[in-house]
Amino acid sequence: MTTAAQDAELLARVVAGDHEAFNQIMRNHEDRVFSVCLRIMGHREQALDATQETFLTAFRKAGQFRGGSALGTWIYRIAVNTCYDQLRKQKRRRSEPMPEHMDPSDHAAEVALEAAAMRPEIQRALSLLPPDFRAVIVLSDLEGMALPDVAEVLGVPIGTVKSRIFRGRRLLAEELRNQNP
Amino acid sequence: MREHELELIAGLAEGSLEDESEARTLIDSSAEHRREYEAQLLAIESLGSVGVPRMSDSERSRLHRDVWAGLRSETAPNAPGVPWYYRWAPIAAGLLVVVGVVTVLGQLGGEEAATQDLTEAAGAPSTTAADTAGAPAGGESEEPTAGDDGGVATPLDARSTLLYAGEAERLRESGGEGSAFGAEQDDSTAIELSECLADAGLTGYRAVGTIDDPASEAVATTIAETLLPIITAIPEGEELPAATIAFVDRRTCELVYLDG
């Protein structure tokens, strides 16, 4: 059975009320969704919230999935849009910049972060990019997604994706240089 | 700078060009092109040095627990879209039963006798969450106490006590039918259940099943409709037929009933 057929079957089971099918979808995609959210949000707690909301939204909209794209692409689109929504809410609340921190009591998470070696200066520079540019950089340069997939996740033409990648990298380089003149 | 030139420069920085000569000529042609190349290269190299973030076990467990709690609250019988009378029918039925039983027993010997009879009718020594306050049931050190950080639910009404006691008896007789885990239970679910039991103050207990399938013929319709979702747990080292059975609300991780 092809991946697309497996995805379609899984979603059909979810729509029919099979919670184990949804559990399997979560297991298949939760790490990457969390990674995308963390890199866009820059904050583990908020990334976890966004990941949770992503899967709740996916469950609610499972019946609307038409199979025009891969299931993963559809879920990452929900994830990016969820992150955009949360960033907009934060902007309205004028919250402070988003350092990637975590509950200090969560030692396991600390170890995981160290293993991830997300360099703070890069995370900081990334968080200063406009969200549209940040998203393409995260999906393309950090998550290694192909340009057509990035275009599909973001719902923009490939030309726009390329343009945002080039400009986003340029801005990122400027921020990095500003931090280490 | 034209788009084509930018693509060439970015391609050179990425190392994705088959023929780099045109791009190299371009970056040598002006300072602007050279700066663009250096910026692209710096960004790509910096991003390439970043590792892959992973969820910790506790984060993963929390994610699963929160997602499932969210899904259950959305698909619960009292979720929007369910007829209004459906939401109130179990409560009304429960009230009628309680009023009827109390009235009959009150006629036989007063309120105190009625309470005692209800407890006896619930099956052997049984304990509601409220009863566990400060006094471990069964006297074992591994029994939960209200002093633990686990939540203690509000006292159960007589009908709920009867339902849980009946369900406990049914589980013992059937060996856990309708509550046992499916073969597909995974590590993350096991972690979630284990943490939930710890939150409920049930240290030294192991989850033996969940009751979350309203369609299950094995589970009494009443309990499936009113008490979902539930984790059933017994003390480590004990077997179901003879063990104390704890019922924990899977959404709130609160001990709701302890039987045995």
**pLDDT tens column, B159-172:** 666 677 777 887 88
Question: How many independent structural domains does chain A possess?
Answer: 2
In the prediction, which pLDDT does A111 show?
A: 46
- Could you tell me if A45 and A131 lie in one domain? no
β-strands B151-152, B254-259 pairing? parallel
Out of A19, A115, A172, name the one closest to residue B51 (CB).
A115
Smallest CA–CA distance from B70 into chain A, residue: A56
What's the mean pLDDT in B2-20? 88
Please give the distance of CA A87 from its chain centroid, rounded to a whole number. Answer: 12
Residues B212 and B229: beta-carbon distance below 8 Å = yes
**Which range marks the domain in which residue A17 is found?**
1-117
Check pLDDT > 70 for residue B123: no
Model confidence at B14: pLDDT above 50? yes
* Angstrom distance (rounded) from CA B233 to CA A23: 22
Query: Which residues of B are less than 8 Å from A116 in CB distance?
Result: 50-54
A53 and A105 in a single domain? The answer is: yes
pLDDT beneath 70, residues of chain A: 1-2, 91-118, 181
A contact test, residue of B52, B195, B212 with most A CBs within 10 A: B52
Which CA distances in Å does B175 have to B12, B124, B143, B165, B180? 67, 18, 22, 15, 9
Per DSSP, A142 falls in state I
CA end-to-end distance (rounded Å), chain A: 54
A131 and A86 within one domain: no
Residue with the larger pLDDT of the pair A41 and B228: A41
The answer, yes or no, to whether ipTM is higher than 0.90 is no
Q: Within this chain, do residues A109 and A127 fall inside the same structural domain, yes or no? A: no
Gap between the terminal Cα atoms of chain B: 79
**Do residue A68 and residue A104 come from a single domain?**
yes
**CATH assignment at residue A175:** 1.10.10.10
pLDDT over threshold 80, residue B140:
no
B119 vs B130: CA distance, rounded Å: 14
> Is residue A22 within a helix (H) or strand (E), and if so which, with residue range?
helix A19-41
The CA-based dihedral angle spanning residues A55, A58, A60, A62, taken in that order and rounded to the nearest 10 degrees: -140
As a whole number of Å, the CA-based R_g of chain B is 30
Query: For A67, which DSSP code?
Result: S
CA–CA distance, B190 with A118 (Å, rounded to integer): 30
CA distance B21 to B19: 6
Within 8 A by CB and 6+ apart from A68, the residues are none
Q: Which of A77, A92, A117 is the last residue of a domain?
A: A117
B189: which chain A residues are within 8 Å (Cβ-Cβ)?
A: 23
Q: What does the pLDDT read at residue B254?
A: 81
DSSP class of residue A16?
T
Average pLDDT rounded to a whole number, residues B152-158:
54
Please indicate, yes or no, whether residues A77 and A49 belong to a single structural domain of this protein: yes
Residue B146 is predicted with a pLDDT of 36
Q: Round to whole Å and give the CA distance between B239 and B208.
A: 10
Residue from the list B48, B63, B184 with its beta carbon closest to the beta carbon of A51: B63
Predicted TM-score of the model (pTM):
0.54
Same domain assignment for residues A134 and A103? no
List, for residues B191-207, the tens digit of each pLDDT value: 778 888 888 888 888 88
Question: Do A49 and A77 belong to one domain?
Answer: yes
Write the CATH number for A89. Answer: 1.10.1740.10
Q: What does the radius of gyration of chain A's CA atoms come to, in whole angstroms?
A: 17
| A100 and A111 together in one domain | yes
Residues in chain B with CB shorter than 8 Å from the CB of A176 are 42-43, 46
Write the pLDDT tens digit of every residue in A9-40. 888 888 888 888 999 999 999 999 999 999 99
Place of tokens 């009404």: B157
A80 and A156 together in one domain: no
Query: Looking at beta carbons, which residues of chain A come within 8 Å of B44?
Result: 141, 169
Nearest-by-CA chain A residue for B36? A170
Query: pLDDT confidence of B239, banded at 50, 70, 90?
Result: confident
Amino acid in position B44: I
Q: Which of A20, A38, A176 is the closest to B42 by Cβ?
A: A176
Q: Tell me what pLDDT residue A167 has.
A: 93
Residue B252 to residue B150: CA distance in whole angstroms:
10
State how far the Cα of A97 lies from the Cα of A127, in Å rounded to an integer: 8
pLDDT at site B213: 52
Domain boundary among A117, A135, A164: A117
3-state SS track over chain B: CCHHHHHHHHHHHHCCCCCCHHHHHHHHHCHHHHHHHHHHHHHHHHHHCCCCCCCCHHHHHHHHHHHHHHHHHHHCCCCCCCCHHHHHHHHHHHHHHHHHHHHHHHHHHHHHHHHHHHHHHCCCCEEEHHHHCCCCHHHCCCCCCCCCCCEECCCCCHHHHHHHHHHHHHHHHHCCCCCECCCCCCHHHHHHHHHHHHHCCCCCEEEEEEECCCCCCCCCHHHHHHCCCEEEEEECCCCHHHCCEEEEECCCCEEEEEEC
Task: Find chain B residues with C-beta within 8 A of A122's C-beta.
Answer: 46-47, 49-50
* Tokens linked to B107: 């006629």
Instruction: State which of A77, A100, A117 marks the end of a domain.
Output: A117
Mean pLDDT score of chain B: 72
- Residue whose entry in the numeric block shows the structure tokens 């910049």: A97
Shared-domain flag, residues A90 and A134: no
Q: Are residues A99 and A176 in the same domain?
A: no
B246 pLDDT higher than 60: yes
